[in-house]
Structure 1
Amino acid sequence: MSIFSGIWVPLITPFADGEVDHAALRALVRRYADAGIAGLVALGTTGEPAALDAAEQDAVLATILDEVQAHGAARGVDAQAQALPVLVGVSGNHTASMKERIEQLNALPIAGVLIAAPYYIRPSQAGIVGHFMALADASDKPVVLYDIPYRTGVRLELETLLTLAAHRRIQAVKDCAGSLDTTLALIRDGRLQVLTGEDITMFNTLCLGGSGAIAASAHLRPERFVALYHALSAGRLDEGRRVFHELAPLIQALFVEPNPAPVKALLAAQGLIRDELRMPMTRAGDALVARLRALEGLDRSGAHAVASSV
């Protein structure tokens, strides 16, 4: 059975004074591993990889993999086992360069690669098939397709997705296309694990039989997102509905402004990271930060407010 199920967190890249904050990154890895998430995504969109140079990307990935191994060892996980799966984002629109990157990643203990359609150039569906097939051929690890047309400018049509599902390395899809028909067709086909990448559709996708979610909002309250997954996968619909309704206001607020600015603002309010992004990304606005703090019950210092017993 594919490992691509459950709640995956697409890690932010914390910065401090303009540099990658590796200590904060390690702490985040431990936080989410302890919360019971199914896996991590390194260098996904939420991690601002476009703002990292090649050396920084490699260093971020190395830190995540090292901390995952250390966390597993501390809990008695065999060194040869995958303590917590790590999926790595690989983006671009030059097939040959992306093949080189994937071949570099083959040597690392990763769970797979997450690949979006070539952005900006808007190739034909035949070109998309050829692109993904070439990359899957180059990979020794599983491939997760990333269908996010509002970022790439081109969507993966259902026929294309079903064609790609025939490749033995292509095992899952991060579904951000916003098409219920496509989502349902892929779930019914059964060859690809369907992970929603639109956090607000998580409940719907899981109830339809989807495998899980790659959810930026699970940076906050990760245990509750894990509880949501377990409730719905076990058929406890009433419990799952209660948890989702509890999480929905937070999910909605976290996408009022471009991701990952709201996520970073709230993590910073909790004292976990600095509230820093790299241009052209900017920090979340004051009004949204106040709204996020209120949703999480944070006082001005960032500590969780204590309700009065009076």
Structure 2
Amino acid sequence: MPAQKLVGTGVALITPFNEALEIDFTGLKRLLDSTAEKGVDYYVVMGTTGESATLDKNEKKKILDFACANNAKQLPIIYGIGGNNTKEIIEQISDTDLTAVDAVLSVSPYYNKPSQEGIYEHYLKIADHSPVPIILYNVPGRTGSNISAETTIRLSEHDNIIGTKEASGDISQALTIIKHKADDFLLISGDDLLTISLHAIGAIGVISVLANAFADIFNNIMEHLKTSDYQSATQEVLKLTEINPLMYEQSNPVGIKQVLMEQGICENYVRLPLVPCTVALKEKIQHCMTLFEGEKAL
């Protein structure tokens, strides 16, 4: 897959629900249209932000089919298939129609706490069986283990592993990956606020939570980065520094769903074991959004 398809901002799409906790396809359509209009470069469907852990196989299929059918700008689509059972992941890939999918994003195995060799072998098996390219997803805060730079570098040599969403927050690890990875292997930021820092050392963009609501800001950031205008890009990121931690205060996607509710995109319902944000968090989010709208009006 040409690297330019994944340059820029990928939005880690939420899954809107109605009060009965069924998929709200009307809200999903609004979200797809809104993020595309604001300038995202590709969609990431069924990542962690999409609450993939609490959606069944049929629901996931319906969401992927809907995203493909309502992709007005024909943006690339990355689809999340991950877990801690290698055999099951391979079966899921085999059972999923990936015709309209550009790559599979696969999170590092969680809970099992595999060794680095186990992580390496896990991804080799998946890549060998996948009809589309694989993107690693390293998020130690959720999985309980880190894909080391050395393991990532080894995996970068596989023809069907094209990149990594790096959400370790470890810049030195990212530097090591950049220095020793295969030439065509992509480093993608998995942390919204580190997008500029990682771009400065060789990352090609970000897979973003905040882009669900603020894709226009990320579009501005990417435009500035094209000309190496880091000062202007930083001014855009600074608009998000207060609201970003609120997105994770009660676990993602609780915060971003509240933001989208404030924007009129969808309701803030989440599935158990997650619960909608507290009144206190809602008020903090509303305060940040009021400040944000005030800044835009200046």
Q: TM-score, normalised by structure 2?
A: 0.92
Confirm or deny that 1:174 pairs with 2:199. no
**Which position in structure 1 is the counterpart of 2:229?**
236
1:30 is the counterpart of 2:30:
no
2:163–2:185 contact (8 Å) kept in structure 1 = yes
8 A Cα contact 2:105 2:134, kept in partner:
yes
- Please give the alpha-carbon distance, in whole angstroms, between the structure 2 residues aligned to 1:139 and 1:176: 23
State which drifts further: 251-260 or 268-277.
Answer: 251-260
- Over the aligned positions, Cα root-mean-square deviation in angstroms equals 2.1
5+ unaligned residues in a row in structure 2: which ranges? none
CA contact under 8 A between 1:186 and 1:192: conserved in structure 2?
A: no
Match of 1:91 among 68, 74, 82: 82
Does the aligned pair in 2 maintain the 1:206–1:229 contact within 8 Å? Answer: no
Q: Which string of whole-angstrom CA distances, capped at 9 and with x for unpartnered residues, describes residues 78-131 of structure 1?
A: xxxxx1011111122111111111123354210110011111111121111111
Q: Which residue of 2 aligns with 1:16?
A: 18
Amino acid at match of 1:233: K
1:108 aligned partner:
99
Alpha-carbon shift at residue 160 of structure 1 (Å): 0.8
Q: Find the counterpart in structure 1 of residue 203 from structure 2.
A: 210
Structure with more relative contact order (C-alpha pairs < 8 Å, separation 6 or more): 2
**3-state DSSP class of the match of 1:220?**
helix
Q: What residue in structure 2 maps to residue 260 of structure 1?
A: 253
1-structure distance, mates of 2:185, 2:14: 26
Aligned position for 1:49: 52
Residue 4 of structure 1 deviates from its aligned partner by 2.3
Q: Which amino acid aligns with 1:274?
A: E
- Residues 116 and 107 of structure 1: CA distance in aligned 2, closer, same or farther (over 3 Å): closer
Q: How far off is 1:171 after superposition?
A: 0.8
Q: After TM superposition, which residue ranges in structure 1, 4 or more long, deviate above 6 angstroms?
A: none
For 2:253, give the aligned amino acid.
P
Q: CA–CA distance in 2 between the matches of 1:226 and 1:32? A: 10
Q: For 2:53 and 2:113, locate their aligned partners in 1 and report how far apart those are by CA, in whole Å.
A: 19
Residue 240 of structure 1, CA deviation: 0.9
Q: Secondary structure at the match of 1:247?
A: coil
Count residues with an aligned counterpart: 292
Q: Distance in 1 between matches of 2:6 and 2:207?
A: 10
Query: Please, what TM-score do these two structures have when normalized by structure 1?
Result: 0.89
| Aligned with 1:224 (options 206, 213, 217) | 217
Once the two structures are superposed, residues 255-291 of structure 1 have per-residue CA deviations (whole angstroms, 9 ceiling, x without a partner) of: 2221100100111122211110000001112122112
Structure 1 range deviating more: 116-125 or 164-173:
116-125
**What is the SS of the residue equivalent to 1:13?**
coil
Counterpart residue identity of residue 87, structure 1: I
Equivalent residue number for residue 248 of structure 1: 241
1:253 and 1:117 mapped to 2: Cα distance?
A: 25
Map of 1:148 onto structure 2: 139
CA distance in 2, matches of 1:148, 1:89: 14
SS of the equivalent of 1:171 reads strand
State yes or no: 1:62 paired with 2:62: no
Query: Structure 1 residue 209: deviation in Å?
Result: 2.2
Distance 1:176 1:5 in 2: 17
Counterpart residue identity of residue 55, structure 1: N
Distance in 2 between residues matched to 1:153 and 1:246, nearest whole Å: 31
Query: Could you tell me which residue of structure 1 aligns to residue 121 of structure 2?
Result: 130
Q: Secondary structure at the match of 1:297?
A: helix
